[in-house]
C-alpha cells in the first residue's frame, strides 16, 4: 500500500474511541483527499469516463427531442397555412355588423389559445364574405362558353396592406348616404375594388356597374370604384382567397366560366347580405407551427379538439354571443399522421441509443471491476484492521462522489447548453441514472469482493445463461408471430430489446466456445517451433488473471468485453442493414417513378427532336439507352369487353428487357419480341400483354388502335406483370417491338427516352436545351411563366438521383439516421474502451511475465507479438460472432420492420439481409480494436518491462 493504514482511533477502528484519548495529538489525514492524491491519474480517468458517459446520456434525449420537433414542424409547414389554421365561421349578425364586432370576436378567439399551441397573430385573416356567388348579367362581360361570370363579395381586414391600388380609390369605410326616397335596399350599388387581372379577364373597367339577376324587391349591383394588384401571390394571406388576386376558372361540364371575388369597404358591411342574401363572418387563425412540440402533441390535439367541439367551443359561443360559431381544422388529422410517422421511425431511432447504453453499462462495470482489483489488497487490509464492510463502502462512495458528481454536473450542463430544448426532465433523469451507475460500480464491486465467500454454485451460471436464452427466444418468437406494434402505437419494446438480447446470447455462447477453440489453437501452436504464439494463445484460452492473490480462479476470458463488442457490432450491423434496405428501397421507388435512372419525355403528342435519344445514350455514364414510343390513348379490340383501353409501348426488345430486368418490373425474354423486326407489315406483330389484359384477351390475334387512328394486328407472345413505363400492377399495357410494322402506326420517332447508369441531370438538361427547336424556344419565351426553363417545359428531364434526394429530404429520416450513426460511433468508442480496460486490468501480471521472459532473451517485438496473440483472439472472435448475430437479427427481426416512413414511399415490409453493411461494422470495429491494442502494446510494454526489471520480481 502507498498510504499508511488508519490509526486505531480512526473511524474504521473496531472499538469505540477511549474517553481518555489525548485531544492534542495530530489529526489523521482526510480519507478522500488522501486517496485522490494517491492515484491522481486514476481519479482523472474516472472523472473523464463519468463525464463522457453522462454527456452522452444527457444529450441523447435532447437530440431526439430536437429531431422530433424539427420533423413535426417541417411536416406541418409542407401542408401550408390553410391546413395548419383554425377556420372559424359564424353567420353575420342581422344588425350591428361592423369591423369592431369582428375584432371583438377575434379577441375572444385568441384569448383561448396559448396553452399548448399559439396563433401567429400577425398572420390572422378575418372578415366577412357572401356565401353565394351571383351571376353577372352585363352583356359586355366575357362569357367563354356562354355562361355568365359569377361574383362574391368579401370584406377582409388589412387587405390593403397586401395589395397595391392601381386605379381609382378604395371603397368607403363609412356607411354610404341613404338611398333616395322610393328606392330599394339595393340602391345605391355596393362599392367594390376589383383586381386588375380579374377586371381584364371579365372585360370590366373602373366605374362599371355590374348587375346580377333582378329580384322581386330590386336588382343587386356593385360599382367598381378601384382596381388593385396583388404584390405577392405566394403570401400565405391568399391561401384560401384564390379568386381575389385574379379570376378563377369554373367548369360546368366541359364548359368554362369565370368566378371572381371583389373587396368591399367597412361602410357597406351592413348591406353586404343584399348580395346573395346571406353572409358569414370568418376568422382564419394560423397556428404557429414553429412553437409546436412533439412531446406535447397529444395535449395539443386535445386542446384543439376542445376548441373545435368541446368545452372551449362552448365557452366561446357564450362569450361571443354567436350561437352558430363553428371551428374546423385539418390539424387533428395532420397531428395523427405526424404521430404515426414518428412512431414508424422510432425503432431505428431507439435501437442505436439502446446499443450504446448497453455498451456503456458494460464499460462502467469493467471500470468498477478494474478499480476494485487494483485496490483489493488495500480493502482487505482495512477489513482485517477492524473496518466494517459498510464503513468501507461508505468511504468509497464518498471518494466516488467527489470524482463523479462534479463531472456529471458539468456534463449535464454542457448537454443542456449545446442542445437547447424545452424539456429538461428526460435529460436530468438519464444523467442521474448514468451518474448513479458510475458512482456505484466501484463500491458495489468492492462490497462483493469483501463479502464472505459462499460455497461455489456449479449451476448458478448455466441457469442464468439459460434464462437469458429463454427470454431471447420468447422475444424473437413474439416479434415474428405478431410483427411490430400497429402503426401509430408506442415503440415496440420487444423489437428494440431483441437485438440486444441476441447480442447478449451471442456473448455468452462465445465466452463458452472461445476458450475451447483457443485451447485447440494453442495446442496446435505448441507443436511448432517458437513459444510466442503458444504462450499467447494459452493465456488467451486461460483468461487474463487479476493482480493479487484473490482473483478467485479465473478459468476463461472475461465475458464483459466480449459482450461489449458484440453489442456494438450487432446494433451497428442491424441498424446499418436497415439503412441499407432504406437506401435500396428508395432507389427502387425512384427508378420506378422515373422509369429508369434518367428519362426525357415529350409533352402532349409531340416527339423528341431528331438525334436527341441517340445523343443522350452517348452521354458519359449511360449504360443502357432505351428510346420509347408511348401512347396512353390506345385501345385493343377483340377482347371479352370488345374494346379495352390500353397504353401501348414500342421499344427495342433487348434494351427494354434489360431495363425491365434492372428495375425488377416485368422481366421477359427479348426473344419473344425479336421476331417482329423482320416480318412484313401484314403479319401479326408479337406483343407482350399485361396480366390483367391477358385475362380479358387470351391467346390469339387482336387489333391495336393507337390514339392517332392507325391500326396494327398483334398476337399475344407473352404476359408481363408490370412494365417500367407504367409500373402499376393493374395497368393495361401492350408492349410492341420497334420495327417497320410499328413504324406504320407513327411509332418511328420516340416520344420518350429512358437510360440506365450514372447520368448527370444537369448535363442531360443542357443536351436537351441544345436540341430544343428555335420555334419552341420562342414560344416558351412568350409564355406567362418566363422563369420556367424552356427545356423542362417542352421536354421534362427526370433522374433517379434527384428523386432519391426528394424522398430523403424529410427531416424525420435525416434525424433518425444522424442519431443512429452517432450512437454507432459512441458504441464503438465504448467497446474500444472496454478492451483497453481489460488490458489495463492485466497490466501488473503481464508486466511481470514480460520481465521474466525478457531476462530469458525475449525481444521487444516478440513481447508485442505476445500481447497481440493474447488479446486479438477475443477481438476476432467477437467480430465474427457479432457479424453472425447481426445477420441473425436481420433474418429473424427484419421481416417485421416497416420501412415506408424512412423510405418516403409505400414499400413492402421487411429488411433485406446483405453482407456488406454487417461486415463493414464488424471488420471496422475489429480493425479499430486491433490498432488500439497494437499501439498500447508498442508504447506501454517497454516502460512496464523496464519498471519491473528495476524493481525486481515482486511475485
775-808 pLDDT tens trace = 544 444 343 433 344 444 678 899 999 999 888 8
Does the pLDDT at position 182 exceed 80? no
Mean pLDDT for the chain overall: 82
Query: What is the distance between the terminal CA atoms of the chain, rounded to a whole angstrom?
Result: 15
Q: Bridge partners of 248?
A: 259
Pairing of strands 598-601, 797-799: antiparallel
Q: 210 with 221: CB under 8 angstroms? A: yes
Among 265, 266, 261, residue whose Cα is nearest residue 276: 261
Beta-carbon neighbour count of residue 465 at 10 Å?
A: 17
Beta-carbon neighbour count of residue 823 at 10 Å?
A: 27
Residues 250-272 have pLDDT tens digits of 888 778 889 999 999 988 888 88
Measured CA to CA in angstroms, residue 341 lies from 346, 809, 898, 905 at distances of 9, 14, 11, 12
Does the pLDDT at position 532 exceed 80? no
Q: 924 with 833: CB under 8 angstroms? A: no
Percent of the chain with pLDDT over 90: 23
pLDDT, average across residues 909-914: 83
Return d(Cα 564, Cα 503) in angstroms, integer: 9
Pairing of strands 221-230, 209-211: antiparallel
Percent of the chain with pLDDT over 70: 87
pLDDT of residue 521: 80
Does the pLDDT at position 352 exceed 90? no
Residues 196-223 have pLDDT tens digits of 999 999 999 998 999 998 887 788 899 9
Radius of gyration of the CA atoms of the chain, in A:
40
- Better-predicted residue by pLDDT, 726 or 247: 247
Residues 608-639 have pLDDT tens digits of 888 888 899 889 989 989 999 888 888 888 77
Q: What is the pTM of this model?
A: 0.79
Return d(Cα 144, Cα 724) in angstroms, integer: 41
DSSP assignment of 283-314: EEEEB-GGG--GGGHHHHHHHHHHHHHSHHHH
Does the pLDDT at position 399 exceed 50? yes
Res. 553 pLDDT band, cuts 50 70 90: very low
Residues 269-292 have pLDDT tens digits of 888 888 888 889 999 999 999 999
Beta-carbon neighbour count of residue 935 at 10 Å?
A: 11
Q: Which residues contact 594 (CB under 8 A, 6 or more apart)?
A: 754, 798, 799, 800, 803
Give me 897's grid cell. 420492420
| Cis check: omega of the bond before 188, within 30 degrees of 0 | yes
Stretch among 35-39, 332-336, 393-397, 574-578 having the lowest mean pLDDT: 35-39
Residues 807-850 have pLDDT tens digits of 888 888 888 888 888 888 999 999 888 888 887 777 667 777 77
Q: 434 with 404: CB under 8 angstroms? A: no
Q: Say which residue the cell 415503440 belongs to.
A: 491
pLDDT of residue 412: 96
pLDDT of residue 485: 53
Stretch among 226-230, 504-508, 637-641 having the lowest mean pLDDT: 637-641
pLDDT, average across residues 139-143: 90
Give me 229's grid cell. 394588384
Q: 153 with 275: CB under 8 angstroms? A: yes
Q: For the chain, how many helices (H) and strands (E)?
A: 29, 21
**401 Cα distance to chain centroid:** 39
Among 160, 156, 158, 157, residue whose Cα is nearest residue 169: 160
pLDDT of residue 793: 62
Res. 27 pLDDT band, cuts 50 70 90: low
pLDDT of residue 302: 93
Return d(Cα 156, Cα 170) in angstroms, integer: 13
Amino acid at each position: 500500500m502507498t498510504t499508511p493504514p488508519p490509526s486505531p482511533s480512526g473511524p474504521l477502528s473496531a472499538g469505540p474511541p477511549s474517553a481518555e484519548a489525548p485531544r492534542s495529538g495530530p489529526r489523521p489525514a482526510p480519507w478522500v483527499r488522501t486517496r485522490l492524491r494517491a492515484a491522481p491519474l486514476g481519479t482523472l480517468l474516472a472523472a473523464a469516463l463519468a463525464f463522457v458517459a453522462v454527456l452522452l446520456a444527457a444529450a441523447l434525449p435532447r437530440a431526439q427531442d430536437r429531431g422530433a420537433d424539427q420533423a413535426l414542424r417541417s411536416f406541418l409547414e409542407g401542408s401550408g397555412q390553410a391546413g395548419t389554421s383554425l377556420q372559424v365561421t359564424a353567420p353575420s349578425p342581422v344588425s350591428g355588423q361592423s369591423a369592431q364586432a369582428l375584432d371583438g370576436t377575434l379577441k375572444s378567439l385568441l384569448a383561448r389559445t396559448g396553452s399548448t399551441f399559439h396563433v401567429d397573430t400577425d398572420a390572422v385573416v378575418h372578415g366577412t364574405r357572401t356565401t353565394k356567388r351571383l351571376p353577372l348579367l352585363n352583356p359586355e362581360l366575357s362569357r367563354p362558353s356562354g355562361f355568365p361570370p359569377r361574383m362574391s363579395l368579401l370584406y377582409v381586414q388589412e387587405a390593403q396592406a397586401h395589395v397595391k391600388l392601381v386605379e381609382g380609390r378604395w371603397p368607403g369605410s363609412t356607411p354610404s348616404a341613404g338611398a333616395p326616397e322610393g328606392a330599394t335596399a339595393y340602391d345605391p350599388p355596393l362599392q367594390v375594388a376589383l383586381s386588375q387581372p380579374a377586371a381584364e379577364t371579365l372585360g370590366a373597367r373602373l366605374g362599371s356597374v355590374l348587375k346580377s339577376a333582378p329580384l322581386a324587391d330590386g336588382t343587386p349591383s356593385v360599382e367598381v370604384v378601384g382596381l388593385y394588384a396583388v404584390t405577392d401571390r405566394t403570401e400565405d394571406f391568399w391561401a384560401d382567397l384564390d379568386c381575389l388576386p385574379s379570376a378563377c376558372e369554373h367548369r360546368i361540364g366541359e364548359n368554362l366560366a369565370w368566378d371572381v371575388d371583389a373587396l368591399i369597404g367597412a361602410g357597406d358591411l351592413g348591406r353586404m347580405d343584399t348580395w346573395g342574401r346571406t353572409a358569414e363572418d370568418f376568422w382564419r387563425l394560423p397556428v404557429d407551427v414553429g412553437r409546436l412540440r412533439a412531446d406535447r402533441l397529444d395535449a395539443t390535439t386535445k386542446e384543439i379538439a376542445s376548441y373545435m367541439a368541446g368545452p372551449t367551443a362552448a365557452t366561446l359561443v357564450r362569450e361571443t354571443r354567436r350561437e352558430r360559431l363553428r371551428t374546423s381544422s385539418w390539424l387533428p388529422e395532420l397531428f395523427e399522421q405526424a404521430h404515426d410517422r414518428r412512431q414508424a421511425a422510432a425503432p431505428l431511432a431507439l435501437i442505436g441509443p439502446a446499443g450504446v447504453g448497453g455498451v456503456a453499462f458494460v464499460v462502467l462495470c469493467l471500470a468498477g471491476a478494474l478499480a476494485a482489483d487494483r485496490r483489493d489488497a488495500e480493502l482487505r487490509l482495512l477489513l482485517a484492521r477492524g473496518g466494517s464492510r459498510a464503513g468501507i463502502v461508505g468511504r468509497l462512495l464518498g471518494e466516488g462522489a467527489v470524482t463523479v458528481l462534479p463531472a456529471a454536473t458539468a456534463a449535464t450542463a454542457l448537454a443542456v447548453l449545446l442542445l437547447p430544448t424545452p424539456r429538461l426532465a428526460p435529460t436530468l433523469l438519464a444523467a442521474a441514472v448514468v451518474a448513479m451507475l458510475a458512482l456505484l460500480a466501484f463500491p458495489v464491486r468492492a462490497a462483493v469482493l469483501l463479502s464472505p465467500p459462499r460455497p461455489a454454485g456449479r449451476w448458478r451460471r448455466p441457469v442464468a445463461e439459460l434464462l437469458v436464452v429463454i427470454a431471447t427466444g420468447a422475444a424473437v418468437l413474439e416479434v415474428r408471430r405478431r410483427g411490430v406494434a400497429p402503426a401509430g402505437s408506442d415503440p415496440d419494446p420487444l423489437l428494440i430489446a431483441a437485438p440486444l438480447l441476441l447480442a447478449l446470447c451471442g456473448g455468452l455462447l462465445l465466452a463458452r466456445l472461445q476458450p475451447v477453440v483457443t485451447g485447440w489453437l494453442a495446442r496446435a501452436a505448441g507443436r511448432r517451433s517458437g513459444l510466442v504464439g503458444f504462450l499467447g494463445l494459452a493465456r488467451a484460452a486461460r483468461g487474463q488473471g487479476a493482480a493479487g492473490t484473490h482473483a478467485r480462479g479465473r478459468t476463461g476470458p472475461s465475458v464483459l468485453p466480449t459482450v461489449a463488442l458484440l453489442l456494438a457490432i450487432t446494433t451497428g450491423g442491424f441498424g446499418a442493414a436497415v439503412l441499407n434496405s432504406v437506401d435500396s428501397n428508395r432507389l427502387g421507388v425512384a427508378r420506378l417513378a422515373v422509369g429508369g435512372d434518367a428519362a426525357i419525355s415529350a409533352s402532349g403528342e409531340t416527339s423528341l427532336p431528331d438525334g436527341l435519344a441517340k445523343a443522350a445514350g452517348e452521354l458519359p455514364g449511360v449504360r443502357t439507352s432505351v428510346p420509347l414510343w408511348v401512347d396512353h390513348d390506345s385501345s385493343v379490340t377483340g377482347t371479352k369487353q370488345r374494346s379495352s383501353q390500353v397504353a401501348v409501348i414500342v421499344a427495342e426488345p433487348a434494351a427494354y428487357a434489360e431495363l425491365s430486368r434492372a428495375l425488377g418490373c416485368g422481366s421477359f425474354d427479348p426473344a419473344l419480341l425479336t421476331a417482329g423486326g423482320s416480318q412484313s407489315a401484314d403479319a401479326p406483330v408479337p406483343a407482350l400483354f399485361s396480366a390483367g389484359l391477358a385475362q380479358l384477351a387470351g391467346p390469339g390475334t387482336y387489333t391495336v388502335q393507337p390514339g392517332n387512328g392507325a391500326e396494327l394486328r398483334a398476337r399475344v407472345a407473352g404476359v408481363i406483370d408490370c412494365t417500367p413505363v407504367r409500373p402499376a400492377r393493374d395497368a393495361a399495357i401492350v408492349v410492341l417491338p420497334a420495327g417497320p410494322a410499328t413504324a406504320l402506326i407513327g411509332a418511328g420517332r420516340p416520344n420518350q427516352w429512358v437510360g440506365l447508369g450514372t447520368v448527370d441531370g444537369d448535363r442531360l438538361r443542357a443536351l436537351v436545351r441544345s436540341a430544343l427547336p428555335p420555334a419552341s424556344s420562342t414560344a416558351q419565351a412568350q409564355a406567362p411563366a418566363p422563369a420556367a426553363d424552356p427545356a423542362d417545359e417542352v421536354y421534362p428531364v427526370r433522374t433517379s438521383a434527384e428523386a432519391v434526394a426528394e424522398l430523403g429530404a424529410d427531416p424525420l429520416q435525416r434525424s433518425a439516421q444522424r442519431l443512429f450513426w452517432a450512437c454507432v460511433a459512441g458504441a464503438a468508442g465504448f467497446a474500444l474502451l472496454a478492451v483497453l480496460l481489460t488490458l489495463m486490468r492485466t497490466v501488473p501480471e503481464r508486466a511481470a511475465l514480460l520481465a521474466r521472459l525478457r531476462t530469458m532473451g525475449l525481444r521487444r517485438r516478440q513481447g508485442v507479438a505476445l500481447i497481440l496473440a493474447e488479446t486479438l483472439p477475443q477481438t476476432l472472435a467477437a467480430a465474427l460472432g457479432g457479424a453472425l448475430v447481426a445477420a441473425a437479427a436481420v433474418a429473424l427481426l427484419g421481416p417485421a420492420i416497416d420501412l415506408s416512413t424512412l423510405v418516403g414511399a409505400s414499400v413492402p415490409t421487411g429488411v433485406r439481409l446483405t453482407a456488406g453493411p454487417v461486415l463493414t461494422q464488424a471488420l471496422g470495429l475489429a480493425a479499430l480494436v486491433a490498432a488500439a491494442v497494437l499501439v498500447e502494446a508498442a508504447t506501454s510494454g517497454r516502460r512496464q518491462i523496464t519498471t519491473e526489471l528495476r524493481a525486481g520480481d515482486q511475485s
